[in-house]
Amino acid sequence: MSTATAEDRSWWGWGTTAGELSKEESDALVARTAAVLPGHDFTDHAPPGPDDLDVAPPRVTPPDVLAALCSDIPVDRLSHARGKAFRDIVRNLLGRLDHIPDLVARPRTEQDVVDLLDWCSTARIPLIPYGGGSSVVGGVEPRFDGPAVSMDLGGLDDVLEVDRTSRAARIQAGIHGPALEDRLRPMGLTLRHFPQSFAHSTLGGWLATRAGGHFATLATHIDDLTESLRVVTPAGISESRRLPGSGAGPSPDRMFLGSEGTLGVITEAWMRLQDRPVWQVTASVAFERQDDAVAATRAIAQSGLYPSNCRLLDPAEAFINAGASVGGGLLLVAFESADHPVDAWLDRALELATAFHGTVKTKRSKDSARQDGDSSSAWRSSFLRMPYQRDALARRSLIVETFETACTWDDFEDFHHAVTEAARVAIDEVCGGAGVVTCRFTHVYPDGVAPYYGIYAAGRWGSTVGQWDEIKAAVSEAIAGHGGTITHHHAVGRDHRPWYDRQRPDPFAVALSAAKTALDPAGILNPGVLIR
Which residues in 187-216 contact a second copy (CB under 8 A)?
Answer: 209-212
On the CB side of 168, CA atoms within 13 Å amount to: 16
* Shorter beta-carbon distance to a second copy: residue 330 or 449: 449
Beta carbons within 8 Å of 312's beta carbon, 6+ residues apart: 293, 294, 297, 329, 330, 331, 332, 440, 441
What strand order describes the sheet that includes 70-71?
70-71, 103-105, 149-152, 127-130
The CA dihedral of 109, 110, 111, 116, to the nearest 10 degrees, is 100
The yes or no reply on residue 490 touching a second copy (CB under 8 A) is yes
Can you state the percent helix, strand and coil of the chain, rounding each to 5?
40, 20, 40
Looking at the Cβ atoms of 451 and 454, the one nearer to a second copy is 451
**Does 406 participate in binding a second copy (rule CB under 8 A)?**
yes
181 contacts: CB under 8 Å, gap ≥ 6: 1, 190, 191
Residue with smaller CB distance to a second copy, 56 or 514: 514
Among 483, 498, 522, 523, binds a second copy (CB under 8 A): 483
Closer to a second copy at the Cβ: 459 or 528? 528
Does 410 interact with a second copy (rule: CB under 8 A)? yes
Contact 516, 531 (CB under 8 A): yes
Binders of a second copy in range 144-173 (CB under 8 A) = 163-168
Among 16, 289, 504, 523, binds a second copy (CB under 8 A): 504
Report if residue 136 touches a second copy, rule: CB under 8 A. no
Contact between 485 and a second copy (CB under 8 A)? Answer: yes
- Give the one residue of 484, 524, 527, 528 binding a second copy; rule: CB under 8 A: 484
- Residue 120 C-beta: closest distance to a second copy, Å: 17
**Residues between 376 and 405 with contacts to a second copy, criterion CB under 8 A:** none
Which residues in 327-356 contact a second copy (CB under 8 A)?
337-340, 344, 348, 352
Among 115, 227, 374, 401, binds a second copy (CB under 8 A): 227
User: Under the criterion CB under 8 A, does residue 264 sit at the interface with a second copy?
Assistant: yes
Burial class (CB in 10 A: 0-12, 13-18, 19+), 410: exposed
Nearer to a second copy by Cβ, of 11 and 441: the residue is 441
Q: Which of 135, 238, 402, 526 binds a second copy (CB under 8 A)?
A: 238
| Burial 377-386, CB ≥16 within 10 A → b, else e | bbbbeeebbb
Q: Which is nearer to a second copy, 257 or 313 (CB)?
A: 257
255 binds a second copy (CB under 8 A): yes
Give the C-alpha separation, 134 to 390, whole Å. 14
- Considering the complex, what minimum distance in angstroms separates the CB of residue 466 from a second copy? 25
Site for a second copy in 266-305 (CB under 8 A): 272, 274-275, 298, 302-305
Nearest residue to 380 (alpha-carbon basis) of 196, 199, 181:
196
* Nearer to a second copy (CB atom), residue 20 or residue 239: 239
494 forms part of the interface with a second copy (CB under 8 A): no
Residue 68 has what DSSP assignment? T
Rg of the chain on CA atoms, in Å: 23
> Which range binds a second copy by CB under 8 A, 121-129, 258-266, 374-382, 467-475?
258-266
Length of the chain: 532
Write the burial class of residue 54 (CB in 10 Å: 0-12 exposed, 13-18 middle, 19+ buried).
exposed
Cα 68 to Cα 72, 81, 110, 449, distances in angstroms: 11, 20, 15, 48
Q: Which of residues 10-69 bind a second copy (CB under 8 A)?
A: none
Distance CA 115, CA 106 (A): 12
| CB of 304 or CB of 373, closer to a second copy | 304
User: CA nearest 322: which of 370, 282, 378, 360?
Assistant: 378
- Residues that contact a second copy, how many (by CB under 8 A): 100
220 or 376: CB nearest a second copy: 220
CA angle, 34 then 35 then 38, to 5°: 60
Of 80 and 443, which has the nearer Cβ to a second copy? 443
Q: Least separation, in Å, of the C-beta of 278 and a second copy?
A: 11
Binding flag, residue 489, a second copy (CB under 8 A): yes
Of positions 15, 19, 138, 258, contacts a second copy by CB under 8 A: 258
Query: Of 105-134, which residues contact a second copy (CB under 8 A)?
Result: none
Site for a second copy, residues 431 to 460, rule: CB under 8 A: 443, 445-450
CA distance 514 to 377: 48
* Least distance from a second copy to the Cβ atom of residue 417, Å: 16
Binding range to a second copy, per CB under 8 A, among 31-39, 89-97, 226-234, 365-373? 226-234
Conformation bin of residue 530: beta by default, left when phi > 0, alpha when psi is -120 to 50: left
Contact partners, residue 158, CB within 8 Å, separation at least 6: 171, 172, 175
Which of 280, 317, 496, 527 binds a second copy (CB under 8 A)? It is 496
Helix, coil or strand: residue 134: coil
Q: Which is nearer to a second copy, 75 or 509 (CB)?
A: 509
User: Is 532 an interacting residue with respect to a second copy (CB under 8 A)?
Assistant: no
Shortest Å, Cβ 301 to a second copy: 9
Cα 329 to Cα 295: distance, rounded to the nearest angstrom: 11
Between residues 178 and 252, which has the closer beta carbon with respect to a second copy?
252
User: Residue 331 and residue 354: Cα distance in Å, rounded?
Assistant: 11
